[in-house]
Structure 1
Amino acid sequence: MNNRFENKRVFVSGAASGMGRATALRFAAEGARVYCVDLDQDGVEATVRKMERGSDEAVAARLDVTSGDACRSAIADVSARWGGIDVLCNVAGVGGIRALGEETDEGWALAMAVNANGPFYLSQAAMPHLVESRGVIINVISTAGLQGQAYMSSYVASKHALLGLTRTLALEFGRQGVRVNAVCPGGTKTAFLQGFQLDDNIDMGLIARTSLLDEMAEPEDMAASICFLASAEARFANGAILSVDGGSVAG
């Protein structure tokens, strides 16, 4: 493993498990100082322990990304600690399968709050620091942000919103040296998939998707793609939407 991110200051949401944890660990392994946040305090602390880094190189903090004030405070803290920020990774997300008639006000609001509002709050707060460092934002969307999907109205709508935010910020801040890109994972082996369990009322014919691969992706596959887009190797990628899905949206 090389040191592409040596001394870079990286902020990762959703870092307690799954893709967020894998991403935080990959950045740390490549030399970054990593500020890890999640609603799950114990989980995010476990992530930092796995890094085996000093207290000035890895931080664990509880964050509810649905709160604008909390997001602004978290960005202010990382900037105060390390003098700024170089990479913001918006990985935190929620989702599930629910027929339209069974979706609730609370379920719709939560999907929008975590999947769209959270990245907006963090990006808005971090942008002055990213302009100064000529930094990068990586948003983790989903293949659900690229296509419609039956029984996932709130999840799909919120992920389409994040896709739009990604492209808009790429245009608005590209000439100021900030790159904004996204990774769209397909099926990945994480606890997140537990929210997508099917019940007897679901018509499988409406949600079937093909893949060119026989197995699901690992969280580390997504971390590798995230780190590539955040690195200098992808210096000319801005507004890029990278599908990492085994071919499920290829045709």
Structure 2
Amino acid sequence: MSQRFDNKVVLITGAASGMARATALRMGREGAKVFCADINAAGAEETAAAIRAAGGQAQAAAGDIGEPAQCRALVDQAVARFGGLDVLCNIAGRGGLRAFTEETVESWNAAFAVNVNGPFHLSQAALPHLLARRGNIVNVASTAGLQGQAYMPAYTASKHALVGLTKSMAVEFGRKGLRVNAVCPGGTATPFLQTFAVPEGAEMDLIGHMQLLPDMARPEDIANMICFAASDEARFVNGALLSVDGGTVAA
């Protein structure tokens, strides 16, 4: 396997499971020093331990990215542990299916806290370190950030906001050597998908159009794109929205 991340320092949120864990493991195999962050401390440590067992370097830390102070602390810990920062992968997310009329202030605010505010605060804290190394940010949005999707108003709105943040930062900092891209997965077989329970009385055809192919992506499929976007192979890719959805948004 190529060593695209040899001696690169990478901070990954949501690293306890799913596509973030798959990304952490792959980057670790490719030489990265991986800082695994998640609100699930035990899960983050399991991922870091797996990287170390395979001969890589990794450190785990617990943190709630919905809290600005904890975002800054995670960046500070990663830099203190590994001496700098080259890549920030904002992968942690919060979602679920809910009829618009059943959306609550609490669930709306929680979605934005994790899906938008977290990446914003992490990116702001990481910015000087990333600029110093001409690094990059990979945000994980969703097909819900590219098109309207029924029964997920907070998730869709927050992922559209993350897409907007990606584009804004890409334009503002591109000339300074910082790339910012968004990977937009469709349905992916991860524990996260278990939060997407179909609301009672939902029109199933409105949900069915979200998935073009009969099967779902694997976490590794999304990790492959994240790793490409974060690597020097994508040196001329900036402000891109990279769909990994089997063609769903093309239909």
Indicate if the aligned counterparts of 2:18 and 2:219 stay in contact, CA closer than 8 A.
yes
- Aligned pairs for 1:13-28 (under 5 A) are 13-28=13-28
Q: 2:143: which partner in 1?
A: 143
Q: Secondary structure at the match of 2:137?
A: strand
Q: 1:63: which partner in 2?
A: 63
Q: 1:119: which partner in 2?
A: 119
Q: 1:224: which partner in 2?
A: 224
Change (3 A) 1:202 1:213: closer
Alpha-carbon deviation of 1:201? 1.5
Counterpart check, 1:178 vs 2:174: no
Counterpart of 2:241, as a letter, is I
List alignment gaps of at least 5 residues for structure 1.
Answer: none
CA distance in 2, matches of 1:56, 1:31: 7
CA distance in 1, matches of 2:200, 2:229: 40
Alpha-carbon deviation of 1:57? 2.1
Q: 2:104: which partner in 1?
A: 104
Indicate if the aligned counterparts of 2:14 and 2:38 stay in contact, CA closer than 8 A.
yes
CA distance in 1, matches of 2:228, 2:56: 24
- Aligned pairs for 1:1-251 (under 5 A) are 1-52=1-52, 57-209=57-209, 211=211, 213-251=213-251
CA distance in 1, matches of 2:103, 2:191: 22
CA distance in 2, matches of 1:104, 1:40: 25
Query: What TM-score do you get using the length of structure 2 for normalisation?
Result: 0.97
Indicate if the aligned counterparts of 2:12 and 2:34 stay in contact, CA closer than 8 A.
yes
Query: What TM-score do you get using the length of structure 1 for normalisation?
Result: 0.97
CA distance in 2, matches of 1:197, 1:93: 16
Per-residue deviation, residues 1-30 of structure 1 (Å, max 9, x unmatched): 111100000000000000110011010010
Identity of aligned residues (%): 59
Change (3 A) 1:76 1:148: same
CA distance in 1, matches of 2:20, 2:217: 14
Q: Secondary structure at the match of 2:79?
A: helix
Per-residue deviation, residues 131-155 of structure 1 (Å, max 9, x unmatched): 0000010000000000111111000
Q: Secondary structure at the match of 1:148?
A: coil
Change (3 A) 1:148 1:133: same
Counterpart of 1:185, as a letter, is P
Q: How many residues align?
A: 251
CA distance in 1, matches of 2:210, 2:69: 41
Alpha-carbon deviation of 1:210? 6.0
Counterpart of 2:8, as a letter, is K
Q: Secondary structure at the match of 1:242?
A: strand
CA distance in 2, matches of 1:193, 1:115: 15
CA distance in 1, matches of 2:211, 2:122: 33
